[in-house]
Structures are given as C-alpha cells and as structure tokens.
Structure 1
Amino acid sequence: MRILVTGATGFLGGAAARTLAAAGHSVTGTGRDPARGAALERGGVRFLSADLRGDPAPLLPDIQAVLHCAARSTLWGDWADFYADNVLVSARLARACAVRGLRLVHISTPSVYNATGLTRQVPESAPIGPRFDSLYARSKYLAELAVRMALPDAAVLRPRGIYGPGDTSILPRLARALRSGRLPRLTRHEVYTELTQVQNVVHAASLALERPAAGVFNVTDGVSVPIWATLDRLADILEVPRPARYVPARVAEGAAAVLEIAYRLHPGSPDSASPEPPITASGVRLLTRPMTLDLTRARERLGYVPLMHPEVGLQSALEALR
C-alpha cells in the first residue's frame, strides 16, 4: 500500500512511518525537520518537507491511504495556533482524501473525554462538549467533527497517553519534575489510568488502514496503570526522592489556574507565544483523575489486540530515562 504519514518527524508519526515501511508498504512521510527526515529516509521512508497549513493536494499523487499523525499536541498554547494546526489542517486533508477516494486514519485523543465526568470504561459514544478542559482537547474534537463530515468513512483513533522510545512528552516531563524535587503528592489514594505503548498505537493504525472500518476507536494497552506507584517506581529508577509533600489536588489545580491567567497576560516577545507555566490545571488533572477506556469497538471492528503488554513496555520506557 502507498501510504502518506503526516507528522513523520514526530514521535508517533516517526514510529508509524518506520514500522509501515519495514512491513513492506511504500511510505512517504512529511515533517519540518530535515535532520529527522534524513534519518527516516535511511529507514526506507521517502521524506517530504511540508507545511501542512498549505494545500495538501501536492502530497497526494500516487497515494492510496493517509495516516494523519501531525498535530499541535501540547497542553499550552494559543487558540489560533490550535485551530490552524489541528482543525483547519485536518479538515483540508480530509476533503482532499474524499475527492481522491483515499483511505484516511486520523489520530485524535481521549482528552476529549476529560470534561465529561466519566472515568471508567469510557465508550466512544460518550457525549462530548460543549465544555473541554483544554484548548488542545477542544481543537482535537473539532478536528474529528471536520474529518468525519468531509469523509464519513474515515477511521478516528483516540490513543491515551502514548509512551515509548522517542517520547519527548509524558514520561520525560515527569522525570524532569521528579528530578527537580518540585512534584508534590497530589492525592492520598492511588489513581488508575491507561496508557498506550507507541507500537500498540501503530498496530491499531495499521489495522485501520487495512480494514474498511469507519468511526471512532479508543486505543490503549488495555491494562490499568497506577499513576502514583508508577511515579514512585520512576523516582527509584532515577535515584531521586519519591514525591512526599502532600498538596491537595484542588489546591494545586486552583494554583495552576491562577498561574495560567498570569502567563496568558505575559506579553512575551513579539515573535513568540506566551511562555508555558510550570504547571497547568489540565496537567494536574491528568495526575489526579482516573480514566479507563472501553476497547470493545477496536477489538470487534478492527481486530485490535495490544501487541505489547505495559509491564514490558512501560518498564523499558522507565529504564530508558535513567
């Protein structure tokens, strides 16, 4: 299959492009980092330097399917950028795929569920909006709507907490927080969530590319992970103190909200966005609110079974941060 992978110089897109190429597909990857693009080409991926805010049509000749991984994926930023990079880019790409009859697999996020109040075995059918707990979540949900309106046959994947080799976000951020000694213990009880090893996401995307299954699909490792026990485990690996000073989650979330307002008002430099605060309210909620997802649809319609168990994948990822 001739596949275009957007965001191939990023964490998930890079893993997907390399894995699909190794499986025998003809893969073209887009991105903005020529150095990472050169590394992709050494792995058998044709690289195109591209700004996706432009017309996607020149990227699509001879392409049979598109895996759209590119996104502004952060808990902090300006709405104009989230809207441009996540909503408008996704909408244009979906329309272009619809015109050409191309298969589209769109990567979204379970962050869209965060403001629903649901925490256990959340299904794809959960009512979402109009409130969202971050600009990122709001933009990704609007992107989903735009994709499915332009191309009803598209598959939309919602992988939760992607980690693994090449991760620059979740586990590295937690490692930095632990090393700084500034991370307090935010609950007196354990909080269970689900994560997704990057190869499990790539496996789900591969299945969605190969099978004509339309709609939204939750994706995780399928096993609940104790957040604070995992943080203690990471602290031990890093040989730094475990979080001990207790700060109630409500207090931390309130302080983060105040910080966000202050940072929003910070003028910054004329050519850069406002700086990111050391903590955000949505970041606090990720550590203090449980969430597990219902994988029934992915199992039944995609045939999804996680390839890598978190006991193996997570331990390897934690050890890599030593």
Structure 2
Amino acid sequence: MVILVTGATGFLGGVTARTLLRAGHEVRGLGRDPARGAALARDGVTFVPADLRAANWKALLAGVDGVVHAAARSTLWGHAADFYADNVQPSAALARACAARGTRLVHVSTPSVYNATGLTCALPESTPVGPHFDSLYARSKFQAEQAVRAALPDATVLRPRGIYGVGDTSIVPRLTRALRARRLPRLTRTEVWTDLTHVQNVAHAAALALSRPAPGVFNLTDGQAVPLWATIDRLADALGVPRPGRFVPPRLLEGAATLLEFGARLHPARPEPALTASGVRLLTRPMTLDLTRARRLLGYVPVVTPGQGFGTVLEHLRAGPGAGRE
C-alpha cells in the first residue's frame, strides 16, 4: 500500500511512518520541519513538505491507498482559533478528500475528550462526552472527530492515552524539566493509577486499522495501568535528582494554576503559563480505558508493555543526551 502520514516530522508521525515502511509499505510523510524531513528521507520515507492549513488534498492523495492523520496542535495552552485552524479544519478537509477518493483514513484523536466527564475507570468509547471540555485542545480534537466521522463514516478514530517513548516531546520532557528544577511537589498521598500508550503501540494500531475495515472510535493504551507517582520517582532516580517530597494539596495548586491562566489570558500575547489546571489534573486524577473494542475489531494486542517501554526510556535518560533514538 501507499500510505500518507501527516505530522511525519513529529514524534508519533515519525515513528508511524518508519513502522509502516518496515512493514513493506511505500510511505509518504507530510511535515513542516526540513531537517526532520531529511532524516525521514534517509530512512526511505518520501518527505513532502506541507502546511496543512493550506494543503491541496486532491494532489496530496494522488496514488495514495491510506492515510494516517497524526498531525495536530497538541498543547494544553493556546488560542481557540489556532486549535480550530490546526486540528478541526484540516481534519475535516482531509476526510472529505478521502471520502471523494475512497481512501482509507486513520485519524488520531485523544482520550482527553473524557477528562471533563468526571469518570475515571475502564471508560468505553461509548462514554458520553461534551459539551464541556477541560481544555481547548480536548474540545478541538472532539470537534475534529465529529467532522471526520460526518464526512467519512468508515474512518477509524484512535484515542491513545498519554503517548510516550524515546523521542517523546511532551510527557517525559515536561516532567524532566520540572524534576530538574525541583518545582514538582508531591500532589497526592496515595498512588494514581493511569493508562499510558507507548508510541510503538499506537503505530501498531494504525497499521492494523489500515489492513481491515475498522470504522468508528477505538481506545488505545498499553493494556496495563501504571502507578504514576512511582513512575515519576523512577524518572527522578534515572535523572539523578531528588524525588518529589513536599506535599501540596492538588486543589491549592490547581487554584494557583487557574489564576496564572487568568493572568495569561489578560496579557496581549497570551503567553503559556508555567502551570495549567489541566496539567495539574493529569497528575492527580486516574484514568483507565476499556480496550474491548480495539481487541475485538482491530485484533489489537500491545507490542510493547509498560515495563519494556519505560525501561527503554529510563535507559535512554541514564545514557545522557548522546544516546540513540528508537
């Protein structure tokens, strides 16, 4: 198959493009970073520079059998207009173009859409979400899901929980900066069990969805919940810095984050605050997802366990900045 991967110069898109290439597909990778595009080309991926806000999908889909749409604005802070322009409009336009050509589409979304439900345990895809969301990011991703499914009911929508791995640009780097700066307090007196998803497991699920009819929404995780604060302690040990010790009530920190957000919104440039309320909630509220649908309809079995995945990440951190990437 000829597969187009959007966001191929990003973390998930790059891993997915290379995984599909190793599986024998011809892969075209869209992105905006020329240096990372050159690295993709060296590995055998055909790099196509493109800005998705102005993409000519008719031309980009010529000769393409399937698409993995991994590109997104994935931050907890920003302008609503930018989230809409980067996450909703390109997804809708791509889905319409795939529908017109009969091209299979795998759209990567997020279980952040569940965050405002107040539910935390074994959530199925049928969990009602909206109209309220805990971040502009979550709102835009759900709007994108709706637009994709309206234009192309046969599309596969993946909701991977907390993507991590060597090369991660979000979860581990943010925690690493906070730990090294010694500004991450202990926010709970009991453990928080949550699901995460190794990047290779997301790439594996995308490959499965390209290989068979798989319409609808699918939760994705590593299949085993992890103890969040014990994992943060292991991360601190690997970095050689103190573990979080001083306890701060999460409601106090969340309140402080809300005030910081309010001040940032009043600033003309709307700079990202050092702390966001949704970021605090990620560290204090458990969430696990039901994988029944992915196992039954995709044949999904995680290829990387949390023990393997975090073991590799911690080894990479111990090896220092010169270590190779997976």
What is the TM-score normalised by the length of structure 2? Answer: 0.96
Does the alignment pair 1:173 with 2:169?
no
Matches within 5 A, 1:19-98: 19-54=19-54, 55-98=56-99
Name the structure 2 match of 1:300. Answer: 296
Cα distance between partner residues in 2 of 1:10 and 1:67? 13
**Runs of 5+ consecutive residues of structure 2 not aligned to the other structure:** 319-326
Deviation at 1:99, TM superposition (A): 0.3
Name the structure 1 match of 2:155. Answer: 154
Name the structure 2 match of 1:271. Answer: none
Matches within 5 A, 1:232-243: 232-243=233-244
Cα distance between partner residues in 1 of 2:187 and 2:180? 17
Cα distance between partner residues in 2 of 1:232 and 1:47? 39
Deviation at 1:321, TM superposition (A): 2.4
Name the structure 1 match of 2:322. Answer: none
CA displacement, residues 212-254 of structure 1 (integer Å, 9 cap, x when unaligned): 0100000000001111111111111111111111110111111
Cα distance between partner residues in 1 of 2:52 and 2:183? 38
Cα distance between partner residues in 1 of 2:314 and 2:70? 24
Does the alignment pair 1:164 with 2:165?
yes
Alignment partner for residue 310 of structure 2, among 300, 308, 314?
314
Alignment partner for residue 277 of structure 1, among 269, 273, 277?
273
Is the contact between residue 253 and residue 280 of structure 1 (CA under 8 Å) also seen in structure 2? yes
Cα distance between partner residues in 2 of 1:18 and 1:288? 34
Q: Which runs of 4+ in 1 moved over 3 A?
A: none
Deviation at 1:276, TM superposition (A): 1.1
Cα distance between partner residues in 2 of 1:304 and 1:293? 14
Name the structure 1 match of 2:285. Answer: 289
Quick one: which amino acid aligns to residue 117 of structure 1?
Answer: G
Quick one: which amino acid aligns to residue 189 of structure 1?
Answer: T
Name the structure 2 match of 1:218. Answer: 219
CA displacement, residues 100-133 of structure 1 (integer Å, 9 cap, x when unaligned): 0000000000000000111000000000001100
Deviation at 1:164, TM superposition (A): 0.7
Is the contact between residue 157 and residue 216 of structure 1 (CA under 8 Å) also seen in structure 2? yes
Deviation at 1:318, TM superposition (A): 2.4
**Runs of 5+ consecutive residues of structure 1 not aligned to the other structure:** 269-273
Aligned length: 317
Quick one: which amino acid aligns to residue 289 of structure 1?
Answer: R
* Aligned CA-pair RMSD: 0.7
Is the contact between residue 172 and residue 321 of structure 1 (CA under 8 Å) also seen in structure 2? no
Deviation at 1:319, TM superposition (A): 2.7
Quick one: which amino acid aligns to residue 279 of structure 2?
Answer: G
Is the contact between residue 171 and residue 318 of structure 1 (CA under 8 Å) also seen in structure 2? no
Q: Percent identity?
A: 72
What is the TM-score normalised by the length of structure 1? Answer: 0.97
Is the contact between residue 156 and residue 217 of structure 1 (CA under 8 Å) also seen in structure 2? yes
Deviation at 1:165, TM superposition (A): 1.8
CA displacement, residues 47-89 of structure 1 (integer Å, 9 cap, x when unaligned): 1000111232221100011100000001111100000000001
CA displacement, residues 264-314 of structure 1 (integer Å, 9 cap, x when unaligned): 11123xxxxx32111100000000000000000000000000001110111
